[in-house]
Amino acid sequence: MDRRGDEELLKTVGYVAVILVAAGILIYWVSSSASGKIVRDEAAAKQAALLIDAARPGSAMFINQNLTIQGSKVKAGSAEYEFFAKGPVMYKSVQGGTEITVGGGEG
Amino acid sequence: MIPQMKAMKGMKGKKAQVTSEYILLMWRMLLIAAVVFVIAWSVGKVYTSKQDIRTTESALFAKSAIECLGPEGVVDVKADFDLSGCFANIDKSQYFISAKLSSLESNLTKESVFGTQNIRTNCELGKEYGGNAPKCTDWTVYVLIDNNGKTERGKLEVYSAIYKLASNVQNP
């Protein structure tokens, strides 16, 4: 038996294992950050708020996210954002997302 | 005596070899940790930063004011030229908007301001000095003015600014 060779092999396997574990943790963290709930919720709330701001009174839209509207704030999970639409904004949860109706201009 | 000395020398050599291998191992671990840290830090900076939508929002805010004051591109002087009627339910502390209507054919001018004046000041300072300033939009559109039955050409200058620092900037 070549004891020195065994030690070298063991060390190399150890290094490779450490690198693989570090790379695995890194890839998991990056992918969970990129597609994470916090990022998605923030993007959904802000995009919905911009859509409501841009909508003409009387418009209806469907957004494939679960959103709620409280007062002049649109909420998606833990994220929320304020919109400035003049008329009343109503929402209804439907299959696959949320239906939003922007009310008439006389608000 | 000589074999004993040789054995001692051998032991010293082995000890030195173990120490150097330990240093090498630590160095490699440190290198891996450093690479992981640098990648995590740079990626984390991108994915944990907030999306700043205020430039788009201030443009929409200005557009909304223009549509409110002059529906279909016609401003009626008999109607209230008042921005507070356009944005009744919003948090005034986060918004600023001003509109100035001037006729190109007569001396007619009208002005309206809504929101917090400081936001405009901070936006202008931010343009000059940078930093986490509010975002603003300056728009001029040409409109028709219904001046008591007489139609005049005019322009509508709208300045809108949005504060909302906490929800758009990572470390305000």
Tens of pLDDT along A14-54? 888 888 888 888 888 777 776 677 778 888 999 999 999 99
Q: What is the pLDDT of residue A106?
A: 47
ipTM above 0.90, yes or no: no
* A67/B83 Cα distance (integer angstroms): 29
A82 within 8 A of B90, measured Cβ to Cβ:
yes
What's the pLDDT band for A78 if we cut at 50, 70, 90?
confident
Higher pLDDT pick, B60 / B172:
B60
Residue A32, CA distances (Å) to A28, A38, A58, B156 in order = 6, 10, 38, 47
pLDDT at A62 over 90: yes
Q: What are phi and psi of B20, to 5 degrees?
A: -65, -35
Any idea which residue has 């969970």 for tokens?
Answer: A32
**What is the distance between the alpha carbons of residues B91 and A11, in angstroms, rounded to a whole number?**
63
Q: Is A50 on the interface with B (CB under 8 A)?
A: yes
Q: Inter-chain contact A72–B89, Cβ cutoff 8 Å?
A: yes
Q: What pLDDT does B101 receive?
A: 93
Q: How many CB atoms lie within 10 A of CB B3?
A: 7
Average pLDDT over all residues of chain B: 86
Alpha-carbon gap: A96 to the closest alpha carbon of chain B (Å): 25
A58: left (phi over 0), alpha (psi -120 to 50) or beta: left
Minimum distance, in Å, between the CA of residue B43 and any CA atom of chain A = 7
Contact A33 B51 (CB under 8 A): no
pTM over 0.80: no
Q: Looking at the predicted structure, is the pLDDT value of residue B55 above 90?
A: yes
What integer is the mean pLDDT of B77-101?
87
Instruction: Write out chain A residues lying below 8 Å of B50, CB-based.
Output: 42
Look at residue A107 in the predicted model and tell me its pLDDT: 38
Q: How far from B81 is each of A17, B101, B108, B125, B157, CA to CA, in Å?
A: 71, 9, 13, 29, 13
pLDDT at B14 over 80: no
A72 in reach of chain B (CB within 8 A): yes
Average of pLDDT values for B104-133?
A: 90
One-letter identity of residue A41: D
Q: How far apart are CA B34 and CA B28, in angstroms?
A: 10
In A, which residues are within 8 Å of B29 by CB distance?
A: 18
pLDDT at A12 over 90: no
d(CA A53, CA A73): 11
**What Rg value do the Cα atoms of chain A yield, rounded?**
25
Query: Any chain A CB within 8 A of the CB of B167?
Result: yes
- CB contact under 8 Å between B68 and A105, yes or no, is yes
Give the chain A residue whose CA is nearest to the CA of B51. A43
B32 with A19: Cβ contact below 8 A? yes
Q: Which residue has the tokens 């911009």?
A: A50
Does residue B100 contact residue B109 with C-beta atoms inside 8 Å? yes
- Comparison of pLDDT for A82 and B44, the residue scoring more: A82
User: Tokens 């030195």 — which residue?
Assistant: B16
pLDDT band at B9 (very low <50, low <70, confident <90, very high): low
Please tell me which of the candidates A22, A36, A49 has its beta carbon nearest to residue B36. A22
